[in-house]
A and B are shown apart, each in its own frame.
Chain A
Amino acid sequence: MKKFAYFPGCSLEKLALSYNNSSVETSRMLGVELQELEDWNCCGATTYFHVDQLLAYTLVARNLAMAEKEGLDLVAPCSACYKNAYFTNKYIKEDADLAEHINYALEEDDLQFRGKINVHHVIEVYANEIGVEEVAAKVTNPLEGLRVAPYYGCQIVRPKHNGMDSENPQFFEALVSAMGAEAVDFPERLRCCGGSLIMTSRHAALDMVRTLLQSAVDCGTDVIATACPLCQVNLECYQLQVNDEFGTNFKLPVLYFTQLLGLAMGLPPKKIGIGSELVSAAPFFKKYLSKQVS
């Protein structure tokens, strides 16, 4: 069984518990163990890299060092956590002075980071490490007829890394197809959801969410699939406020791609956190749920 050091990140403790559970469960079904990092700390998200980048690298490096100690690559389900971990790993490997300084700080926690590991997003693990064919082979309840908008958001594909195509990526579409669902041609799939602007520049962020929801509706989406807790919360939980603000009437379910995949693999809905959404996806799911074996 393939094993990774799993860094859930703060959002997955509660706000996105369904993402946590569905990632762990679907990974297990795919023969991958996500072993949670013991005593991991917050990576700093997107908000404070500007206050002190050296501090931000240090916080991230603590998690990387703990993964390295286990001899495992680090996997993050949150796009912001992933981006921070990926680039901190890269920069520390490239800059000996930075590595020296950060290791000096890590000594306080009896840790050391040598730059021997790699960092992946959960969706990358599925698309690249496991492979789309392998994923498709595990699908027992194909989500036939379900029109899914694969929403990449920003930080899985940007800034450019791992040789990824940041203008026209296709791996999310491929995974949706592997679930037996139809990946709709979603024009705004790479457009930012507003991230933490929902708290600091609310009006702007609500408008950004509205643009995304409208685009998804226009292309005939049943469900939006996301790979980031911030995207999920902005698109789903703030939908009511968007409706209030702009007089719209959106009622579009937004699920984590791991939840959809879990469903397609026949996992019980409760186990993958289905039922905790504010905009229910039940109307679309009934027919797939009835097929469930156990």
Chain B
Amino acid sequence: MATKPTFSQEISNLLYASHGKPLKTCIQCGTCSGSCPVVDFMDQTPRRLIGMINADLKEDVLDCNTYWFCASCYQCTVRCPAQIDIADVMYAVKRYSIWHKTYRDDLVGPTFSETFVKTIVRSGRSYEPLLAPTYMFSMGIKEVLQEAHMATQMMLKGRMPVLPTKIKRLDNFKNMIRRIIPMGGAK
């Protein structure tokens, strides 16, 4: 029977249905880091993050911003010579950090994601203005003014949604979600 999983095995368990090859097959070639358009802004490069997961450096992995800075562009995934779905690995670590609440407070990504899902679950559609508060708090005055200026211009051009929209069969939609996530009151 299975022995107690290490951190790297915990991540592998999250990826048990992934279409990529196992993380352990990483050859540390660095193609992912070389291809990543966000690498300059990451605490650890994708290659190092995978190395750190494989070395079971749990705290260091969870403490870095790398997986929340992944833009999901899949350049690493399509180029990985070991055929690891690296973008999917980033998602798995995000999942881990949300389920275990280990993400860093200074990152906008987790709250943004959560608000995004919440909006969709309630209305069936996403709505940009509701998302703004999740990232505005992290900004300085200059950035807030820039955002406001841009929003005004978009409004003038008729590109800003004024009211959130809702799908018509919203009750069915919500019940559908309750069959996947067994919460929100039994029908």
Contact = CB atoms under 8 A, between A and B. Distances in A.
Most chain B Cβ neighbours within 10 Å, of A45, A53, A197, A238: A197
Contact of A62 (B17, B71, B176): B176
Interface stretch (B2-10, B26-34, B52-60, B108-116): B108-116
Nearest to A91: B19
Nearest to A59: B120
Contacts of B149: 240
Q: For chain A, which range describes its interface: under 10, 10 to 19, 20 to 34, or 35 or more residues?
A: 35 or more
A196 B70 CA distance: 10
Given A109-B172, A154-B75, A166-B78, A201 B114 contact: no
Contact of B92 (A50, A201, A277): A50
Most chain B Cβ neighbours within 10 Å, of A16, A50, A237, A275: A50
Interface in A244-294: 244, 275-278
Interface residues of B, number: 68
A55 B180 contact: yes
Contacts of A207: 40-41
B74 A155 contact: yes
A277 to B, nearest CB: 7
Interface string A47-63: 11111111100110010
A157 B19 CA distance: 18
B179 A108 contact: yes
A204 B73 CA distance: 14
A47 B169 contact: no
Given A39-B169, A109-B173, A276 B159 contact: yes
Given A105-B180, A194-B38, A200-B112, 9 more contacts: A55-B181, A58-B176, A109-B175, A159-B77, A159-B78, A160-B78, A192-B37, A197-B69, A241-B150
Interface of A: 10, 13-17, 39-42, 44-55, 58-59, 62, 91, 95, 101-102, 104-110, 154-155, 158-160, 166-167, 190-192, 194-197, 199-205, 207-208, 211, 237-238, 240-241, 244, 275-278
Interface of B: 17, 19, 37-38, 40-41, 65, 68-69, 71-75, 77-78, 85, 87, 90-92, 94-95, 98, 107-109, 112-114, 116-117, 120, 124-128, 131, 134-135, 138-139, 142-143, 146, 149-150, 153-154, 157-161, 165, 167-169, 172-173, 175-181
